[in-house]
A and B are shown apart, each in its own frame.
Chain A
Amino acid sequence: MKMNSWIIITDERRVGGMLNLVRALSGQVVAAVVGPRSLADSVAGIGFDRVLCFETAEEIPAEAYAAQLAAAAAADDAGLAVSSDIPVSRILLGAVAAKLSAVIVGSVRSMAAEGESIVISRSAAEGKVLEDIVTAGPAAVIFDGEDIDMPAAQAVPVEIIKAEDTGDALRLVETLEEESGSGLLTAERVVSVGACLISKDDLKLIEELAEAARAEIACSLPVCDDLRWLPTNRVVGHTHNQIAPTLYVAVGISGQPQHMAGVRDAKIVVAINNDPEARIFKNCNYGIVGDLYKIVPALIAAFKSAH
């Protein structure tokens, strides 16, 4: 099945994963970058057939260009549009899907061509199963699968698309960074705690483990929201920090999808939990089943010996 695939890009996350998603399908693969020229330049050398840059005006959010992007995709006879699951990209995808009269599928992990159709596999029932959906028509998919580092390829020229005047429909007034001090987003190692400790004083155990592992501290949402033991900038999850450490140690975290979405790009996940049936043991590389009050002191000693 030959069709042009448009990958909607508003930041650098999951670009490799989205490109890999459509590689098996025939047709041109177009990077439709809605953002600064520098973002388009960063993806020009990873294997796209074309790179278009809808260079956004300062103080005009990317969503304001949804109609222009959709018209351009339709003019290019796009049969497939892909975005990541970040809010900006999903809104743009919705506009493209409406223009193409495309079926929309979320939580997509993989795709395959099958004659004149494509089979789209999406995560369902909180990631417990995959559902295979087949369509012969245009499709717009929201990708939340694994990101991949694509090998360097011949760079293609970036085609600048003059952004249309969006009037006063949408304007950026102010940008507010979250309180600084949390090195979570760039940390190589992270120790994360769930709502499993007997008292707030026991956070000292987690702090010692983080120190021994030379890691930043993070937590699940209940530790912040319900217990108020750690600030919101320490929360990992799909509505908070999404991080990609080399090592993520989850202490007493059950492994709910909302939390695990925040670490899906972690290289190694270690889980410590006293429930052998805890969901996190199906989403980790290593796990230790046991009482954290015994395991964590032993792990502190083991990390100190290793360093």
Chain B
Amino acid sequence: MKVIVVFKWARNPQDALVRADGTVDWPGVKLSANDDDPVVMEIAGALAGDDEIIGLTVGDGDTAWAAARGVARTVSVTDAKTDGDSSVLGTVIAAAVRHIGEVDAVIVGDSYWDYGVVAAITGQLGWTALAGVTSASYEQGSLRVTRKIGSVSQVLEVNGPVVLAVAASRAEEIEPGMKVVLMARKKPVERITLADLGITPQPAAASRGTRFPDTLQAKILDGADPEAACAELVAALHSDGVV
């Protein structure tokens, strides 16, 4: 199968700097691989077989990351905005997929960093799409995908081009070594712009900024006297009707 993997399309929200006034900044923060991206690469490898895997990233994403994990060549949309407008980014990625040409599957991390982007990509492409994917296999012309809903896993058969949003349930088991990463930097990278894609996406929403939410007013007990603290806790739970 000819496969595109979308990688490094968002910033890690853990890297956001939240100031005392509730505003958010991202000083020097680059796009990074999310928790699902390594499993995206594994599934891509399993499906592609002898066919090439094409990497797709945006902005300043480090292309060597995917090249070191099996991607034959990478396309990077260098001027794509990654400032949090999910619809715009999804539109750009979908346009880039069409620019690359006919493929059998687009695989992307089903990352909680921005579920909106995944929804936008799948909607814009208009293909069969599945999220929460945990594994996939391609045998004798049949694509079988396993996805998880709660505690239930379902095996589905898919025909036609598909978008798979992968949810990893484990960390990457073996990271590529430095030598592999250095060799990966020699793989071809096609850098394109929005003009090359023929699109000028216009945001349809505007941010008014960020603020602190009303937080739950927790009752915090000092555990210096464990017996007293626990007795107070259980009494409170009793009042709440829980115990």
Contact = CB atoms under 8 A, between A and B. Distances in A.
Interface stretch (B42-50, B73-81, B188-196, B213-221): B213-221
B167 interface: yes
A302 interface: yes
A298 interface: yes
A176 B147 CA distance: 10
A269 to B, nearest CB: 8
Nearest to B134: A239
B233 A302 contact: yes
Contacts of A124: 13, 16, 24, 84, 210
A241 B16 contact: no
A106 B120 CA distance: 11
B128 A96 contact: no
Interface string A151-190: 0000000000000000111111111111000100100010
A302 B118 contact: no
Contacts of A177: 151-153
Contact of B207 (A63, A131, A295): A131
Interface stretch (A16-24, A47-55, A197-205, A278-286): A278-286
Contacts of B115: 85, 90, 106-107, 142
A288 B224 CA distance: 9
Interface string A223-235: 0011000001100
Interface residues of B, number: 84
Contacts of B238: 306
Contact of B243 (A94, A99, A303): A303
B233 A286 contact: yes
B171 A225 contact: yes
A86 B149 contact: yes
Contacts of A101: 204
Contacts of A128: 16, 18, 212
Contacts, number: 291
B153 A168 contact: no
Interface string A220-260: 00000110000011000011111000110000000001100
Interface in A290-307: 290-291, 294-295, 297-299, 301-303, 305-307
Nearest to A268: B242
Interface string B138-171: 0000001011111111111111100001011111
Contacts of B224: 290
A258 B114 CA distance: 13
Nearest to A179: B151
B227 interface: yes
B59 interface: no
A282 B216 contact: yes
Interface string B166-209: 01111100000000000000000000000000000001111111
Interface of A: 61, 63-64, 66-67, 70, 85-88, 90-91, 93-99, 101-107, 109, 119-120, 123-135, 137, 139-140, 142, 167-178, 182, 185, 189, 213, 225-226, 232-233, 238-242, 246-247, 257-258, 261, 267-268, 270-272, 276, 281-291, 294-295, 297-299, 301-303, 305-307
14 contacts: A87-B149, A94-B122, A125-B210, A169-B128, A174-B155, A185-B150, A213-B243, A286-B237, A288-B226, A291-B223, A294-B223, A295-B223, A302-B227, A303-B243
Q: List 5 tightest A-B contacts by C-beta distance, closest first.
A: A290-B223, A87-B132, A94-B123, A98-B123, A94-B119
